[in-house]
Copies of this chain bind each other. A is one copy, B any other.
Amino acid sequence: MANFGLENLILINPCNLKEDAYYQAMHAKYIVEKAVKNTYPNLDDFLKKEEIDFIVGSTGTPGGSYNLSRIPIKPEELGKSINLNKKIALIFGREGNGLYNEEIEMCDIIVSIPTEHSYPIMNISHAAAIIFYELFKNRNEFPVEGLEEATRIEKEYLLKDMEDIIKKLDIPEHKEKTGIKSFKNIINRAFITGREAHTLKGILRRILMKFE
């Protein structure tokens, strides 16, 4: 939860947490400490007392019987479509048994992680990590300085220099075109950073100078 900027853990009818629960939480003990003060006896009570805008239930890959309430969306679809400005509850069921049918009925939507057929039952903390990750993914970009992707203009200058070089190589026109196109594809697919663009540009400039 802390990895993905979440902090409101609610426990419904929990057992007594032992020391291990705090230890496993590592630097996110504060989430567990807050959670034990904020429990509800059942899901219905929780949903009534908190004012939840949207309820997402999670299930393992749905079983054989076709059940309209259980038609799930994928975590990716959830991440792309959910409005994170609303008050959302993500409901995870019991380890092993998951959510009961009457609990699933209370949900606005069901999310399910696509898995291998032969082993669809996931550890609940792994399932939670994947769903949190998909929600977080659509929120932020990598924020490390120097890793910003090159701007469109930086990439255009780079491609222009490469084009100038290729045009001086006396190769057939169709090969010129293929070369320019390949270089452009590679630059775009590599999500080249501003600094890399600068480095490459320096080299291309030097190559051009050698040609004169």
Query: Which residues does A use to contact B, with CB under 8 Å?
Result: 2-5, 26-28, 61-62, 64, 66, 71-74, 76-77, 81, 112-123, 125-126, 129-130, 133, 136-137, 140-147, 165-166, 168-171, 175, 178-179, 182-183, 185-187, 189-193, 195-196, 199-200, 202-203, 206-207, 210-211
Contacts and interface: CB of A to CB of B under 8 A. Distances in A.
Nearest to A188: B190
Contacts of A133: 113, 130
A3 B207 contact: no
Contact of A4 (B66, B115, B179): B115
A166 B202 CA distance: 11
Nearest to A117: B143
A26 to B, nearest CB: 8
A211 B77 CA distance: 37
A202 B186 contact: no
B119 A136 contact: no
Contact of A189 (B3, B5, B191): B191
B165 A136 contact: no
A125 B122 CA distance: 12
A3 B120 contact: yes
Contacts of A142: 61, 72, 74, 112, 114
B126 A114 contact: no
B4 A116 contact: yes
Given A125-B126, A179-B203, A200-B182, A136 B118 contact: no
25 contacts: A3-B116, A5-B116, A26-B123, A27-B121, A61-B142, A66-B146, A66-B147, A71-B196, A73-B191, A74-B142, A81-B189, A114-B136, A122-B129, A130-B130, A130-B133, A169-B203, A169-B206, A171-B202, A171-B206, A182-B200, A183-B200, A186-B186, A186-B190, A186-B200, A207-B207
